[in-house]
Amino acid sequence: MLLNNTGKEKGQQTNNGSMLLREEILAIGSWLSSMGKQHFFETTAQRMASATNTLNLPYEMIGHGYNRIVYDLNNGYVLKIALSEIGMMANANEAYIHTNCREEVRKYLCPVSEFASGWIIMKKMDTNVRHAVIDYMKLIKLEMMFLKYGMIPIDLRIANVAFSEENEMVVIDYGLFTLDRKSPVLRWFI
């Protein structure tokens, strides 16, 4: 059992209210400050190597895309860290949408636990999505429901969903969705 400096088991909330240790937050800050100095010709693999070396986090990396890297915090939550400016915007947008969307929609979005500039902690979901016709039908119904409540689900696809304990389809990556004119994604592109 790993303990943090407050005597709590690693992954549990510390006195500052975060699931992360102070040193981990500082490592993320160090990565984010160096991220802007990356060259435009750098490949995704080079950016990933640079990020993982700078972060040096004790967690298993369970996924990544072009713009974010995802770590399993081993406590039922995941940590998403930006790899680019778009990743920064996606994290901010997920936090904004989860906080400001209607309750009818929120239950279909992966819950956000913590958010700070460049990183977000969300509930870990079962990502073993079966690629069956029924899943695509659920995905289409989910898209229609989001549209009904005024949310534009940009980038809604099977790879960005998971299933809750109640076997409900839940979106785990909604960083490019738009909710209203205040959505960070709209501020980024307009």
The dihedral built from the CA positions of residue 40, 45, 50 and 55, taken in this order, carries a sign that is positive
> Who wins on pLDDT, 78 or 138?
78
Q: How confident is the model at residue 189 (pLDDT cuts 50, 70, 90)?
A: low
Domain locations in the chain?
22-123, 133-189
Share of the chain above pLDDT 70, in %: 82
pLDDT for the residue numbered 129: 61
- pLDDT value for 17: 72
pLDDT for residue 15:
42
The whole-angstrom separation of Cα 142 and Cα 145 is 5
Q: What is the pLDDT of residues 91-107, one digit of tens each?
A: 999 999 999 999 999 99
Structural contact between residues 171 and 156, judged by C-beta atoms closer than 8 angstroms: yes
Q: Answer yes or no: are the C-beta atoms of 163 and 157 closer than 8 Å.
A: no
Query: What superfamily would CATH give domain 22-123?
Result: Phosphorylase Kinase; domain 1 (3.30.200.20)
Share of the chain above pLDDT 90, in %: 58
What per-residue confidence (pLDDT) applies to 65?
87
Give residue 161's Cα distance to chain centre.
12
Q: Which residue has the higher pLDDT, 60 or 4?
A: 60
Q: Looking at the whole model, is its pTM more than 0.85? A: no
At 53, the pLDDT band (50, 70, 90 cuts) reads very high
Amino acid at 88: M
Instruction: Indicate the pLDDT class of residue 167, thresholds 50, 70 and 90.
Output: confident
Average pLDDT over residues 147-165: 91
| pLDDT computed for residue 186 by the predictor | 67
